[in-house]
Amino acid sequence: MDHRRESESLSDTLSATAKRDFETRASLALSILTRTLHRGPKMLVYAERDPAKIWTKLAAKHQPKERIYQVALRSQYIKLLASAGSADTMTTYLTELKVVVDKLAAVGVEMEEEVVTLDLLASLPTAFKTLVTAVSAQQEVPALSFVEDKVLEEEERIKEHEDRAAPAGQAFTVGNGFRNNNKSSNGNNNNNNNSSSNNSNTSIRKCDWCGINNHWSVDCRRRLQHQNLIETYLQHNNLLPKWTQTP
């Protein structure tokens, strides 16, 4: 409804005293609006004397451009997915992701829960590949809340495991796995590896799975551990395909 018409119809029904009071308040509102406006907005409404109409014009002028805002939020969503590996914690990442999805919904861009779930799984860093593989084995895409809970549980499990296994001078980061802070140790190891390579008459065996030399992927302990973790996770959460379960 037009605020000006509403104001006029309201003032016409008032008594003389109430009408004077109404006009005084309207004049005060007009004074506040014109004194607080900057030059640009003031030029837009300089000829108006009805505060309700001024407010309506200003609201229409400064309404966010819907399509531009949609594109900006969509861009923010994509960039956030790409930055998952550098997030301080998964809690922070999941919260920021939910905020952007809610903002998109508010401007008319409804993100299907299944799409957000798949985007979340695809964005997780390599440290979460056990979880991603296990969830991907399901026939149907699970609920987003289920995946979020599993991500947080997996983050805690990874941190606990790596805290126990990490030698002195090494720290674990969710996005990049191990980060070795002892650069001199790395340098010595590289020198030793180079020396061994020069003295060897055979080519170095390099695992295609973990990237470490001196063994093949078929013998890779990390690959076998990863496979066992997946099978254990699937069995624990009743996610194994029916044909693999014993009757």
How confident is the model over 60-72, as pLDDT tens digits? 665 556 788 888 8
What SS3 state is found at 111? Answer: coil
Decide: 154 and 126 in contact? Cβ < 8 Å: no
Cα 173 to chain centroid distance, Å, stands at 18
- Report the mean per-residue pLDDT for the chain: 71
Strand duo 170-173 + 177-180: pairing: antiparallel
The alpha carbon torsion through 41, 46, 48, 49 (nearest 10 deg) reads 110
What SS3 state is found at 170? Answer: strand
pLDDT number for residue 143 = 93
pLDDT number for residue 193 = 52
pLDDT number for residue 86 = 86
pLDDT tier at 113, thresholds 50, 70, 90: very high
- For residue 80, which of 112, 106, 110, 102 has the smallest C-alpha distance? 102
- For residue 162, which of 215, 230, 154 has the smallest C-alpha distance? 154
pLDDT number for residue 30 = 65
Burial 35-44 (b: 16+ CB within 10 A, else e): eebeeebeee
Token pair for residue 2? 């037009």
pTM (two decimals): 0.47
Q: DSSP strand E in the chain: where?
A: 170-173, 177-180
Give the residue extent of every domain in the chain: 3-61, 66-173
Strand partners, 179: 171
Q: Could you write out the three-class secondary structure of 12-52? A: HCCCHHHHHHHHHHHHHHHHHHHHHCCHHHHHHCCCCCCHH
**Type of residue found at 49:** R
pLDDT tens for each residue of 133-175 = 988 888 899 999 999 999 999 999 888 877 776 555 454 554 4
